[in-house]
């Protein structure tokens, strides 16, 4: 084991302690980050003259070989406390004493902070790409459902008729906000920690600006004692992942409800419907149910990280290694959910006939009717009560509100005329809405266009995030 001296009690550790304290298993997800960071650090050491050009060439070749072997699955890392030590140990087996120069003016404390920031950055790029696709897909689907009219619910009761387009846009909005939140995470992670050392900096003439620019960070972290303990970018990432899955879960919950046999407004294709092992008739929405539940794990990761960090004083503490689940699980949890959502959305169909019937036979146009009386000069509260009386009468007689006659309407309010009573027609209700942000056609057009424009911006931002393989290739050319 490399990171032990006579002062730390000799070279070995009880294997059971090593097994418990090692982060190597989890660190396998940050091997590429570690190698890219080492290459940037090496470039700096060579430029400031702390490592000779000849040694730098040898070390660069060693790191490149590890990169290629890792990519092909040929590299086995073992026997050390973490990825940083395992890579150094492997390099020294291959290159001998020169391998010991790479860790000049570097600590695992700034190294792991760098690896995690690089990891979060690349994951945010992938997540932004997936969110751009999700927002785009929902907006396109909305454009295809402009004419579908269906009930929208409050308190799980049918409340007002809306278009399918409006409903789908309502679910794209939170995902667009999540993309904005991942862009915020990118900004939080965008400071290079390399060069603060263990906590206090170094006596050696390093230049932190070199790895900063080489690795594509826009600023340096400002205080080393803070830097090695700072996992705020990881908290922001874990929170945003949890929030995004909450939104995915709400889309899923919507489709579970709409596809349920009581509503029956949506049908699931065979490609996504699951069966029952006992009941031959079932057509279950398991994929949406799993998406609905998925956020629990992400929320658990966030809660776990908050608790790891709470109460830690400044500086590095090994507790920080327990950040790994939150940082490493969050990305795959969200990415796999977004991928499944994309497939599932392609395999749901609104049952236009049942949607139409649900609206036609209901009283969801009651608010429109009250507003028609407001246009005739009635105070809203009076109009509201008059229409309430009409609804009560229709309900007690088991008739839809649309069946109200002029005579019945005038009994509750003589201000009713033909034009006002036209608002009792149920299916035209969404088209009657004129306010911004509502379900009316002009507003929905604007919402779809805005979502498409935001999806394009999110995609452009995703493409601007540096990818580690490109970064590594570029770093290999640096002298
Ligand atoms: N494996 C450690 C971690 O993940 C690396 C830093 C170790 N630093 C130390 N001083 N023991 O946090």
With cut-offs at 50, 70 and 90, classify the pLDDT of residue 319.
very high
Q: What is the arithmetic mean of pLDDT over 319-340?
A: 97
Determine the distance separating the centroid of ligand 1 and the alpha carbon of 334, expressed in angstroms: 27
Q: Where in the chain is the domain with CATH 1.10.40.30?
A: 363-425
Query: What is the best residue among 82, 234, 312, 327 to mutate for testing ligand 1's pocket, by most ligand atoms within 8 Å of CB?
Result: 82
Determine the distance separating the centroid of ligand 1 and the alpha carbon of 266, expressed in angstroms: 51
Specify the pLDDT at position 415: 97
Determine the distance separating the centroid of ligand 1 and the alpha carbon of 177, expressed in angstroms: 34
Q: Which two tokens stand for residue 344?
A: 């599932």
> From the alpha carbon of 22, which atom of ligand 1 is closest?
1
Specify the pLDDT at position 134: 98
Determine the distance separating the centroid of ligand 1 and the alpha carbon of 23, expressed in angstroms: 8
Taking only the tens place, the pLDDT of each residue in 371-397 is 999 999 999 999 999 999 999 999 999
pLDDT at residue 405 greater than cutoff 80: yes
Residue located nearest, by CA, to atom 5 of ligand 1: 108
Taking only the tens place, the pLDDT of each residue in 76-116 is 998 899 999 999 999 999 999 999 999 999 999 999 999 99
Residue located nearest, by CA, to atom 10 of ligand 1: 109
Specify the pLDDT at position 12: 87
Q: Is 209 helix (H, G, I), strand (E, B) or coil?
A: helix
Pocket of ligand 1 (CB under 6 A): 23, 82, 108-109, 112, 316, 318, 320-321
d(CA 423, CA 440): 14
Residue located nearest, by CA, to atom 3 of ligand 1: 321
Query: For domain 363-425, is the CATH number 1.10.40.30?
Result: yes
pTM for this entry: 0.96
Q: What value does the mean pLDDT of the chain take?
A: 97
- Helix boundaries (H) for 50-105: 53-72, 83-95
Q: What is the arithmetic mean of pLDDT over 5-27?
A: 94
Determine the distance separating the centroid of ligand 1 and the alpha carbon of 80, expressed in angstroms: 11
Q: Which two tokens stand for residue 417?
A: 């005329």
Determine the distance separating the centroid of ligand 1 and the alpha carbon of 207, expressed in angstroms: 23
Residue located nearest, by CA, to atom 11 of ligand 1: 318
> From the alpha carbon of 324, which atom of ligand 1 is closest?
4
Report how far apart the first and last C-alpha atoms of the chain are (Å, whole number). Answer: 31
Q: What is the arithmetic mean of pLDDT over 232-250?
A: 98
Taking only the tens place, the pLDDT of each residue in 106-149 is 999 999 999 999 999 999 999 999 999 999 999 999 999 999 99
pLDDT at residue 3 greater than cutoff 90: no
Q: What is the arithmetic mean of pLDDT over 254-264?
A: 95
pLDDT at residue 280 greater than cutoff 80: yes
For 6-101, which CATH class?
A: mainly alpha
Taking only the tens place, the pLDDT of each residue in 157-211 is 999 999 999 999 999 999 999 999 999 999 999 999 999 999 999 999 999 999 9
Q: Which neighbouring-strand residues pair with 274?
A: 284
Indicate the burial class of 310 (C-beta count within 10 angstroms; 0-12, 13-18, 19 or more).
exposed
With cut-offs at 50, 70 and 90, classify the pLDDT of residue 18.
very high
d(CA 71, CA 431): 56
Specify the pLDDT at position 476: 97
Specify the pLDDT at position 282: 95
Closest by CA position to 162, among listed 393, 364, 303, 464: 364
Specify the pLDDT at position 445: 98
> Residue 317 CB: number of other CB atoms within 10 A?
15
Specify the pLDDT at position 2: 81
Axis-axis angle for helices 380-396, 366-375 (nearest 10): 140
- Cβ–Cβ under 8 Å, residues 250 and 205: no
d(CA 437, CA 343): 28
Q: Where in the chain is the domain with CATH 1.20.200.10?
A: 108-196+217-353+447-468
CA dihedral of 391, 397, 400, 402, whole degrees rounded to 10: -70
pLDDT at residue 1 greater than cutoff 80: no
> Residue 321 CB: number of other CB atoms within 10 A?
18
Specify the pLDDT at position 438: 98
Query: What is the best residue among 108, 111, 194, 234 to mutate for testing ligand 1's pocket, by most ligand atoms within 8 Å of CB?
Result: 108
Instruction: Give me the active site residues, please.
Output: 155, 276
Task: Could you please state the CATH topology (level 3) that the domain comprising 108-196+217-353+447-468 is classified under.
Answer: Fumarase C; Chain A, domain 2 (1.20.200)
With cut-offs at 50, 70 and 90, classify the pLDDT of residue 30.
very high
């Amino acid at each position: 084991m490399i990171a032990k001296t006579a002062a730390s009690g000799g070279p070995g550790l009880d294997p059971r302690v090593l097994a418990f304290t090692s982060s190597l298993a989890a660190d396998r997800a940050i091997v590429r980050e570690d190698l890219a960071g080492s290459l940037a650090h090496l470039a700096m050491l060579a430029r400031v003259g702390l490592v000779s050009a000849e040694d730098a060439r040898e070390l660069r070749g060693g790191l490149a070989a590890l990169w290629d072997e890792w990519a092909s699955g040929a590299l086995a890392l073992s026997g050390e406390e973490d990825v940083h030590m395992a890579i150094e140990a492997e390099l020294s087996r291959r290159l001998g004493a020169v391998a010991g120069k790479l860790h000049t003016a570097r600590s695992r404390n700034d190294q792991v902070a760098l690896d995690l920031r690089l990891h979060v950055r690349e994951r945010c790029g992938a997540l932004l790409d997936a969110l751009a696709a999700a927002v785009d897909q929902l907006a396109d689907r909305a454009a295809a459902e402009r004419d579908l009219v269906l009930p929208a619910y409050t308190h799980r009761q049918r409340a007002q008729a809306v278009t399918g387009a409006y409903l789908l846009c309502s679910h794209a909005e939170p995902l667009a906000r999540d993309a904005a939140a991942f862009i915020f995470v990118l900004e939080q992670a965008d400071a290079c920690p390399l060069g603060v050392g263990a906590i206090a900096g170094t006596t050696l003439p390093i230049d932190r600006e070199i790895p900063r620019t080489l690795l594509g960070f826009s600023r340096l972290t400002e205080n080393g004692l803070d830097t090695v303990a700072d996992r705020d970018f990881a908290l922001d990432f874990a929170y945003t992942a949890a929030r995004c899955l909450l939104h995915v879960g709400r889309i899923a919950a919507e489709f579970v409800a709409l596809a349920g046999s009581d509503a029956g407004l949506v049908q699931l294709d065979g490609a996504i419907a699951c069966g029952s092992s006992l009941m031959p008739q079932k057509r279950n929405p398991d994929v949406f149910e799993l998406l609905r539940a998925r956020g629990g794990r992400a929320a658990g990761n966030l809660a776990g990280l908050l608790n790891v960090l709470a109460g830690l004083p400044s500086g590095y503490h090994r507790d920080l290694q327990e950040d790994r689940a939150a940082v490493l699980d969050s990305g795959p949890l969200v990415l796999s959910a977004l991928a499944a959502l994309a497939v599932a959305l392609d395999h749901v169909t609104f049952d236009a006939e049942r949607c139409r019937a649900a609206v036609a036979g209901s009283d969801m146009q009651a608010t429109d009717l009250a507003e028609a009386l407001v246009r005739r000069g009635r105070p809203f509260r009076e109009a509201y009560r008059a229409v309430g009386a009409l609804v009560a009468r229709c309900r007690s007689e088991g008739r839809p509100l649309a069946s109200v006659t002029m005579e019945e309407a005038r009994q509750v309010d003589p201000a009713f005329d033909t034009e006002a009573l036209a608002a009792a027609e149920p299916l035209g209700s969404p088209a009657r809405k004129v306010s911004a942000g509502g379900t009316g056609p002009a507003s929905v057009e604007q919402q779809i266009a805005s979502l498409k424009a935001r999806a394009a911006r999110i995609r452009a931002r995703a493409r601007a995030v540096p990818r580690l393989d490109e970064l590594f290739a570029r770093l290999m050319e640096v002298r």
